[in-house]
Amino acid sequence: MTEQENTELNEEQLQLIEQLRSDDRATFKETFLDLHEYEQSELYIAMDDEEKARLYAVLSPEEVAEFYDSIDIDDVDHDYLFETMDSRYAAKMLESMQFDNAVDILNELSREKMTSLLALMQPESRAEISSLINYEADTAGGIMTTEYVSIESTMTVREAMRYLKEAAPDSETIYYVFVVDQEKLVGIISLRELIISDDDEYIGDVMIERVVSVNTGVDQEEVAQLMRDYDFLAIPVTDYQGHLLGIITHDDIIDVIDEEASEDYARLAGLTDDENTNENAFSTAKKRLPWLVGLTFMGMITATMLTTFEDTLQQVAVLGAFIPIIGGMAGNTGTQSLAVAVRGISSGEIKDASKTRIAMREMGSGFITGIVCGAILLVIITLMYQEVMLGVIVSVSLIIAMTFATLTGTLVPMFMNKIGIDPAIASGPFITTGNDIISLLVYFSLANMFIHTLL
């Protein structure tokens, strides 16, 4: 571990590192395993290769798997890590993890390394993990786990409780118990309901028959919205015939929400959603260039427009001083409306019936804020330049530009969502550049109309 990394650790963590490096294995293991899994994972990430190797010699694969489930997949270079870890140790650790998390890690590895690790696993674990790898990463099938508890509807509560005690250690959650009939999902019962029900009652009589479930192909963002709306801790995943295939738990949905929010934020800024701080300058530039090249061509439209109104600027040079204000304010208000629209679409708040109302509200907001900002500019310009008409031209241009910008920022993402394109692609830079073109057109058109009053 480097000196800089050492300074970022607290006293307890530094003491643990020292115990590990001095081969005080018994003390290290006892203290380390008393930590919360998240704290264990944070210390593990901070370790260098030598310290990780010592850790593997102290802890079993099963013990490492306990905290490895808590590691964010982007925090560790798994491809490099599994080159330094013994392959049999790695395989044992992966099959001891929650299967959905193990699949996420395996998907980060090369095909050759993935196949090698799967071959070293027990047949049962290999079959479960292999079945999950086949699903698309951003779908319900891709984030579900097969570690759940299901019972038959013909069981009594007593039989179900006995079975639950046996199956619980291998399940990711037992707060919901899913009821099946010939592997088809027919109901659900909570652990609380099981506990308070009479021992001799049949599960089919006490279960909830109306079950909200999702198909394996449903997008993970839709699953997240569903779980948020219903306040579920877990949701079952079925095939097209209703067979129970797995469940999605709340911890996976939290990761999905975080991932989708980061993706939308990146796209609003005109970035790719897979950028990270560990990349070099060349890789970062390569990902950003397609967006910036497109913006360059759009910027040329603005430059051409300024050339078109060159005579106007030569006659009244002071008009050029207010170009940044009008373009900037239009861009800012347009980006604000864009953010509101994208968030509303992503969260499901924007329904078909409310789109017109939202568009009119945003346009009204742009108009009102435009009037206020325009009035302020009118007073300032009149006092500074003693030109009332110049202030009127700038103010009216600002009002029109801000009104149009808020309407554009709302309608563009709605339209893109309507035709099946991710609305976040209507990113801030494109909306801003487009509004620059419109605001300049309005500004110089008004200036040309009343230029005789300015000469």
Locate tokens 């095939």: which residue?
Answer: 239
Residues 307 and 221 in one domain: no
Q: What is the CATH number of the domain that holds 368?
A: 1.10.357.20
Domain containing residue 38: CATH number: 1.25.60.10
Tell me, yes or no, whether 142 lies in a domain: no
Residue 159 and residue 130 share a domain = no
Q: With DSSP H G I counted as helix, E B as strand and the rest as coil, what are the percentages for the chain, rounded to 5?
A: 70, 10, 20
246 and 367 co-located in one domain: no
Q: Which residue segment(s) compose the domain that 251 sits in?
A: 150-263
Is residue 209 located within the same domain as residue 322? no
Task: Please spell the DSSP secondary structure of 356-385, one letter per residue.
Answer: HHHHHHHHHHHHHHHHHHHHHHHHHHHHHH
Q: Are residues 213 and 91 in the same domain?
A: no
275 located within any domain: no
Domain match, 259 and 383 both:
no
How far apart CA 433 and CA 442 sit, in angstroms, is 15
What are the helix (H) ranges across 231-322?
Answer: 250-268, 281-308, 310-315
Q: Sheet holding 214-215: strands in order across?
A: 214-215, 234-238, 244-249
Quickly count: other Cβ atoms within 10 Å of residue 328's Cβ: 14
Domain identity same for 23 and 107: yes
Separation of alpha carbons 228 and 131, rounded Å:
27
Residues 125 and 185 in one domain: no
Residue 143 lies in a domain: no
Domain assignment of residue 273, yes or no: no
DSSP 409-442: HHHHHHHHHHTTS-GGGS-HHHHHHHHHHHHHHH
pTM for this entry: 0.62
Residue pair 252/235 in contact (Cβ under 8 Å)? The answer is: no
**Chain-centre distance for alpha carbon 17:** 34
Query: 350 CB contacts (<8 Å, ≥6 apart)?
Result: 341, 344, 358, 414
What's the CA angle centered on 196, arms 194 and 198, to 5 degrees? 85
- Read off the CATH number of the domain in which 208 is found: 3.10.580.10
C-alpha 341: how far from chain center? 17
Q: Determine the Cα–Cα distance for residues 80 and 95; give it in Å rounded to an integer.
A: 19
Handedness of CA 389, 395, 398, 400 (dihedral sign): negative
> How many CB atoms lie under 10 A from the CB of residue 452?
9
Residue 296 lies in a domain: yes
3-state secondary structure (DSSP) of residue 214: strand
**Do β-strands 184-190 and 176-181 pair in parallel, antiparallel, or remain unpaired?**
antiparallel
* C-alpha to C-alpha distance for 423 and 332, rounded to whole angstroms: 18
**Does residue 269 lie in a domain region?**
no
Position 43 in a domain: yes
CA distances from 422 to 112, 273, 333, 407, 439 (A): 33, 13, 21, 19, 26
CA 3 to chain centre: 33
Residue 444 pLDDT: 87
Please list, in sequence order, all residues whose beta carbon lies within 8 angstroms of the beta carbon of residue 68, skipping any fewer than 6 positions away.
41, 44, 93, 97, 101
Q: 339 near 350, Cβ under 8 Å?
A: no
| Domain end among 263, 297, 316 | 263
Whole-number pLDDT of residue 229: 86
- 304 and 250 share one domain: no
Domain co-membership, 290 together with 437: yes
Domain boundary among 110, 137, 164: 137
Residue 213 near residue 140 (C-beta atoms within 8 A): no
Q: Residues 240, 367: one domain?
A: no
Q: 427 and 297: one domain?
A: yes
Q: How many domains does the chain have?
A: 3
Which mean pLDDT values do the consecutive 10-residue runs of the chain (455 residues) have?
52 88 88 91 89 92 90 78 87 91 88 90 90 87 89 93 88 88 92 92 93 92 88 91 91 82 64 58 71 72 76 81 87 84 73 76 92 93 88 92 90 81 64 81 86 73
Using a 10 angstrom Cβ sphere, with 0-12 exposed, 13-18 middle and 19 or more buried, the burial of residue 244 is buried
Grouping H, G, I as helix, E, B as strand and the rest as coil, residue 247 is strand
Taking a C-beta distance cutoff of 8 angstroms, is the pair 32, 60 a contact?
Answer: no
Residue 41 lies in a domain: yes
Instruction: Give the per-residue pLDDT at 403.
Output: 93
Residue ending a domain, choose from 206, 234, 263: 263
341 within 8 A of 358, measured Cβ to Cβ: yes
- Residue 5 pLDDT: 45
Neighbours of 75 (CB within 10 A): 12
d(C-alpha 65, C-alpha 82), whole Å: 14
